[in-house]
């Protein structure tokens, strides 16, 4: 959508939240330099602790692959066929960081990187270093596993972001040349490939390119890829039959095995009742669907977005926002199947869920979408990175035990400490790009209405000199102040989100208490006056939560939440085993903020009962006895996102409930 001068639109957001400033500074100071070192194979690290490192002996080689493709270095491609995307996501994260932290030294590196990528790109716009270096005759011939469009999609996203942040035209040109190459090769016209990539991503990337260039061709191509999904269930097999149906021909080991559900390609999107398959594929596809639907109004897509959203959020999501219930195929399983200890909860899936929520907010003004976005930002996604910015989770469990991870093969994918890097390193830079772009997740402007959906303190400037300054100490305190300046006294409405976790709130506008009706999670205020002062006080009581009793894994358990933050019990604060504690639904809780702990966190204590451990001389099974010794104690809990930054020990979000 073209922003005309006289149309209300957002111009700039400066994050002032202490919580988010710390993370955003961390990305600038530690995460970006560290990840660049790793991708250049200059960091003294090892991926050997990654339980899924596929026996790889190098850490990354991602930049080297580009150098080889550009003819600047000799050698073979190394790593996954989508290894390039680590570099692209990093580049995108760096691009966003320039919006709040211009850095000439870093920009030299990223400008050079754009030059390298441009040199690696072929004359026809194609760029996927694995195929260029080691399998040029197989380009676009095995799309089930090739990730070529996924890979180019990630560059397109990065190229657009980089162009928008720095004005570097070459960055955008590489992206358009890539998209043109894809457009020439894919479609239903004669001579084109009537297919699609096994991993969605290109759909959202092309829509983004459409936004940046206003060239309809890219939106149509994105729409084509969505419409084509599942239209020809034989497509992948037909390609594989020609390319070679044997293990040695596989580009990713084992990737011929999953059925089409894993690839979300078993049937057309409009026929798919619920989202199934690989969790990251699901959320990337959903993001693309919502994004394309926003510009095309395609009703089938809109319906699918709502259907998929409802199923994901109401039936397949962990309390922390994580999704993906099984390591088999890194996938969703079925409604209410939410095991806490064998789960997957990939960081990328939470990041992708935040993308999906953001797009849904463009479709409908519903607080529910912003609630999930917040859940990801403060829990499921954020837990993917350590407080030092140099260690990462791929899998984010809600219950973990180092002994079980080591000795039970069904839990070997669950780490209880974050890793330096991964054989498949999709998550670290994905989270980095979310954090550096968090300023883009706070507002949606629809006509003359501004929706403010997050309580992340910021100063936002809109057209017509309209300014909103939000101050708070969130997520630790619930007093949210908004100072609105509207010097031209334009007729504008401000929609303030009332989060699902705070049905009770108080609202004061210019000192007057107001009792506005909440409409789909927002209250709407007239902000036409030159200045408006708003105070929103949210309910920050500690809450003991329960799951829908259809969730087997959480039956008879409670979790603890305060504001948007979900808490976890860790062995670092509580003598193990954590499963021997029980918490009553009305247990007394306390809350205090501790500056010196985990970079400053709110700490909760909850009264608990602990059963005395039985002797290992006792028989394994005996009739139930009432004589088991219990002692009154308390559990100390810290925010889930901050777990595993101290002792390598047990952790549990859900706690056994004590029934009186």
Catalytic residues: 330, 426
At 213, give phi and psi (nearest 5°). -105, -15
What residue 330 binds from ligand FUB, Zn ion, none (CB within 5 to 8 A, per partner kind)? Answer: ligand FUB
Using alpha carbons, select from 334, 558, 290 the residue that is nearest to residue 444.
290
Buried b (16+ CB within 10 A) or exposed e, 582-617: bbbeebebebeeeeeebeebbbbbbbbbbeeeeeee
Q: What is the rounded end-to-end Cα distance, in angstroms, of the chain?
A: 59
Host H or E run for residue 594: strand 589-594
> 74 — alpha (psi -120 to 50), left (phi > 0) or beta?
beta
- The answer to whether 529 and 490 have CB atoms below 8 angstroms apart is no
Q: Counting contacts by CB under 6 A, is residue 82 touching ligand FUB?
A: yes
Instruction: State which of residues 427, 429, 438, 560 lies at the interface with Zn ion (CB under 5 A).
Output: 427
Nearest residue (CB) to ligand FUB, 281 versus 453: 281
- HSE-CB of 655 using CA atoms within 13 angstroms: 36
Find the shortest distance in angstroms from Cβ 195 to ligand FUB.
17
Q: Counting contacts by CB under 6 A, is residue 114 touching ligand FUB?
A: no
What residue 298 binds from Zn ion, ligand FUB, none (CB within 5 to 8 A, per partner kind)? Answer: none
Find the shortest distance in angstroms from Cβ 348 to ligand FUB.
5
Nearest residue (CB) to Zn ion, 255 versus 583: 255
Residue 269: partners with Cβ closer than 8 Å, 6 or more residues away: 226, 227, 229, 230, 285, 289, 300, 301, 304
- Using DSSP's 3-state secondary structure scheme, residue 558 falls into strand
Instruction: State which of residues 62, 280, 431, 468 lies at the interface with ligand FUB (CB under 6 A).
Output: 280
At 399, give phi and psi (nearest 5°). -150, 130
Q: Is it true that the peptide bond before 653 is cis, omega within 30 degrees of 0? A: no
- The answer to whether 382 and 412 have CB atoms below 8 angstroms apart is no
What residue 199 binds from Zn ion, ligand FUB, none (CB within 5 to 8 A, per partner kind)? Answer: ligand FUB
Find the shortest distance in angstroms from Cβ 371 to Zn ion.
23
Residues 550-589 interacting with ligand FUB (rule: CB under 6 A): none
What residue 377 binds from Zn ion, ligand FUB, none (CB within 5 to 8 A, per partner kind)? Answer: none
For 437-541, strand residue ranges (E) read: 443-446, 449-452, 458-462, 467-471, 479-485, 493-497, 505-509, 512-514, 522-526, 531-538
Cα–Cα–Cα angle for 92, 96, 99, rounded to 5 degrees: 155
User: How far apart are alpha carbons 390 and 428 in whole angstroms?
Assistant: 9
Closest residue to ligand FUB, based on beta-carbon distance? 280
- The answer to whether 358 and 309 have CB atoms below 8 angstroms apart is no
Q: Counting contacts by CB under 6 A, is residue 199 touching ligand FUB?
A: yes
What residue 424 binds from Zn ion, ligand FUB, none (CB within 5 to 8 A, per partner kind)? Answer: ligand FUB
Nearest residue (CB) to ligand FUB, 62 versus 361: 62
Closest residue to Zn ion, based on beta-carbon distance? 348
Q: Counting contacts by CB under 6 A, is residue 204 touching ligand FUB?
A: no
For residues 347 to 366, the per-residue mask of contacts with Zn ion, x marking binding by CB under 5 A and - elsewhere, is -x------------------
> How many binding residues for Zn ion (CB under 5 A)?
4
Using alpha carbons, select from 433, 350, 340, 354 the residue that is nearest to residue 384.
350
Q: Counting contacts by CB under 5 A, is residue 426 touching Zn ion?
A: yes
Nearest residue (CB) to ligand FUB, 397 versus 649: 397
Candidate segments 9-17, 227-235, 342-350, 448-456, binder of Zn ion by CB under 5 A: 342-350
For residues 314 to 343, the per-residue mask of contacts with ligand FUB, x marking binding by CB under 6 A and - elsewhere, is ----------------x-------------
> How many binding residues for ligand FUB (CB under 6 A)?
8
Instruction: State which of residues 424, 507, 566, 578 lies at the interface with ligand FUB (CB under 6 A).
Output: 424
Using alpha carbons, select from 610, 592, 587 the residue that is nearest to residue 602.
592
Find the shortest distance in angstroms from Cβ 54 to ligand FUB.
11
Find the shortest distance in angstroms from Cβ 394 to Zn ion.
6
For residues 301 to 340, the per-residue mask of contacts with Zn ion, x marking binding by CB under 5 A and - elsewhere, is ----------------------------------------
Write the DSSP string, 448-471.
Answer: TEEEE-----EEEEEGGG-EEEEE
Q: Counting contacts by CB under 6 A, is residue 346 touching ligand FUB?
A: yes
- The answer to whether 175 and 155 have CB atoms below 8 angstroms apart is yes
- The answer to whether 109 and 93 have CB atoms below 8 angstroms apart is no
Nearest residue (CB) to Zn ion, 178 versus 426: 426
Q: Counting contacts by CB under 6 A, is residue 50 touching ligand FUB?
A: no
Give contact residues for Zn ion (rule: CB under 5 A): 346, 348, 426-427
Give contact residues for ligand FUB (rule: CB under 6 A): 82, 199, 280, 330, 346, 348, 424, 426
């Amino acid at each position: 959508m073209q922003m005309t001068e006289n149309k209300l639109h957002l111009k700039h957001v400066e994050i002032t939240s202490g919580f988010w400033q710390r993370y955003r500074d961390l990305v600038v100071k530690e995460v970006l330099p560290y990840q660049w070192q790793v991708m250049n194979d200059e960091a003294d690290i090892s991926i050997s602790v990654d339980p899924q490192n596929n026996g790889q002996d190098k850490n990354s080689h991602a930049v080297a692959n580009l150098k080889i493709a550009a003819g600047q270095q000799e050698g073979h491609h190394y790593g996954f066929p989508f290894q390039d995307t680590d570099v692209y996501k990093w580049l995108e994260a760096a691009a966003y960081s320039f919006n709040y932290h211009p850095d000439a030294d870093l920009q030299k590196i990223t400008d050079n990187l754009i030059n390298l990528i441009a040199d690696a790109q072929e004359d026809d716009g194609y760029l996927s270093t694995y195929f260029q270096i080691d399998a040029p005759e197989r380009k676009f011939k095995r799309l089930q596993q090739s990730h070529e469009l996924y890979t180019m999609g990630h560059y397109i996203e990065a190229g657009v972001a980089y162009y928008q942040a720095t004005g570097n035209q070459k960055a955008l040109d590489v992206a358009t040349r890539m998209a043109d190459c894809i457009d020439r090769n894919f479609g239903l016209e004669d001579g084109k490939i009537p297919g699609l990539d096994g991993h969605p991503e290109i759909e959202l990337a092309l829509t983004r390119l459409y936004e940046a260039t206003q060239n309809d061709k890219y939106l149509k191509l994105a729409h084509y890829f969505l419409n084509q999904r599942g239209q020809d269930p034989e497509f992948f097999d037909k390609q594989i039959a020609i390319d070679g149906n044997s293990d040695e021909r596989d580009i990713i080991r084992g990737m011929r095995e999953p059925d089409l559900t894993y690839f979300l390609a078993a049937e057309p999107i409009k026929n798919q009742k619920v989202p199934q398959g690989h969790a990251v594929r699901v959320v990337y596809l959903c993001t693309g669907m919502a994004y394309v639907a926003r510009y095309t109004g395609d009703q089938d897509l809109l319906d699918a977005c709502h259907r998929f959203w409802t199923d994901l959020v109401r039936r397949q999501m962990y309390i922390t926002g994580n999704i993906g219930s099984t390591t088999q195929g890194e996938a969703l399983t079925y409604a209410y199947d939410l095991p806490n200890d064998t789960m997957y909860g990939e960081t990328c899936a939470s990041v992708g869920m935040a993308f999906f929520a953001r797009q849904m907010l463009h479709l409908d003004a519903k607080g529910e979408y912003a609630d999930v976005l917040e859940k990801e930002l403060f829990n499921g996604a954020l837990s993917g990175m350590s407080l030092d910015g140099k260690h990462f989770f791929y899998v984010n469990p809600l219950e973990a035990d180092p002994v079980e991870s080591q000795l039970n093969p069904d839990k070997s994918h669950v780490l209880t400490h974050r890793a330096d890097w991964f054989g498949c390193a999709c998550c670290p830079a994905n989270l980095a790009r979310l954090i550096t772009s968090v300023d883009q997740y706070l507002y949606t402007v629809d006509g003359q209405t501004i929706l403010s959906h997050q309580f992340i303190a910021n100063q936002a400037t809109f057209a017509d000199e309209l300014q909103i300054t939000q101050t708070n100490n969130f997520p630790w305190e619930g007093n949210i102040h908004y100072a609105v300046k509207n010097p031209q006294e334009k007729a504008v409405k401000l929609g303030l989100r009332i989060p699902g976790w705070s049905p009770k709130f108080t609202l004061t506008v210019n000192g007057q208490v107001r009792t506005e009706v909440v409409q789909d999670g927002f209250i709407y205020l007239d902000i036409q006056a030159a200045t408006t002062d708003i105070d929103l006080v949210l309910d920050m009581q500690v809450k003991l939560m329960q799951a829908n009793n259809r969730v087997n894994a959480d039956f008879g358990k409670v979790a603890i939440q305060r504001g948007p933050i979900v808490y976890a019990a860790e062995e670092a604060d509580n003598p193990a085993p954590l499963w021997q504690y029980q918490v009553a639904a009305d247990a007394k809780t306390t809350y205090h903020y501790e500056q010196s702990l985990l970079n400053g966190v709110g700490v909760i204590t909850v009264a608990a009962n602990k059963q005395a451990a039985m002797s290992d001389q006792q028989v394994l099974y005996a009739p139930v006895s009432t004589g088991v010794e219990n002692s009154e104690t308390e559990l100390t809990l810290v925010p889930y996102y901050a777990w595993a930054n101290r002792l390598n020990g047990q952790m549990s979000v859900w706690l056994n409930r004590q029934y009186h």
